[in-house]
Structure 1
Amino acid sequence: MCLQRLKEAQENSPLSDAPDQGRKKASTPIGDQNLLQLCKKYRTKSSQMKPLRTPAHKKQRFLFAREHQYWSQEWNNIIWSDEAHFEVINRKNRTFVRRLRSEADQPFNFVPKMQGGGGGISVWGCMVGGARGPLVIYSGKVDGPAYVKIMEEALPSFIENAFESSQQWQNSHQAKFENSVHL
């Protein structure tokens, strides 16, 4: 876009080739090359959506980090979980195309859109220590009770297996006295 504007400005300028006419050129050929290289680095992209963090949120996050900065083994007792939703057809992010003015009605300039949502999937997973939990794939929107149901189905067997295997690993690295005490 930047290069195209520079070329149009050079072509449409009637005084560009006339000697001693108009304003003197403010840049040098090397400066022009640097400007072109700088323009090439910028690409058209859509902005990302991120949660708004107020000063109170930032303070809470800082206090949490300060309180837990010396944790090492304690993190192995925390189950981390996350979910993600993927739109298959009607994606929410903006899509940009580069085209000529004469190509405005060409099919490659359009993103297909389906009524009724078009379909999407959601994925939920968890991990603890070095163990990965199940990956639960579900479709549609999930409210609070449905989310609790997903966790009730997936978590118990994972917790049993994850903490049992970590307990076995810890027992194999303990002294004989400690093993006899825990038994």
Structure 2
Amino acid sequence: MHKAGMGYRTIGKQFGEKATTAGAIIRKWKKFKMMVNLPRSGAPCKISPRGASMIMRKVRDQTRTTRQDLVNDLKRAGTTVSKRSISKTLRHHGLKSWSARKVPLLKPAHVQARLKFAYVHLDDPEEEREKVMWSDETKIQLFGLNSTRRVWRKNKDEYNPKNTIPTVKHGGGNIILWGCFSAKGTILHCIEGRMDGAIYC
């Protein structure tokens, strides 16, 4: 009927089908020389595009959302999936589960001061940078476990504030290390007792 010049609508009416169905069958025959359904590469994804959008929206707003949270959200929306399916969907959109980075707990004023410092020295010549020594101290906990949280993020977003865990430098059962680096090399010291101004100098 198609070769005789009939349109999709006319052919569909003859067989009691929609015009789109007739057109799909004809196009499949032209391309594959068959009308049966082609074998699929795997089971169809249970998560619809709308469900995937819901997952991505929640993960963007709350990066510490767990896979179980997302499974429960989809179940309430009428879709039952496994944690594995959630992981595949997130990886398909470029997200992976990472341990949240621990960073110093900074007030907004600290953030602005550091940003200002970076802008002021952005164009310093290399010989000026060779005169600078960078130093910091850190606490290493000896007893107990430092809590680790996982977040869903892209590789480049590791230091986005919502993907980090702020830390403070106090508590017991730990040692304090002070270190520095410059163009000349590195130094590391274990601090005995409490770090005060004199010891720091």
TM-score, length-normalised on structure 1?
Answer: 0.40
Higher RCO (Cα < 8 Å, 6 or more apart): 2
User: Which structure: greater helix fraction?
Assistant: 1
TM-score, length-normalised on structure 2?
Answer: 0.37
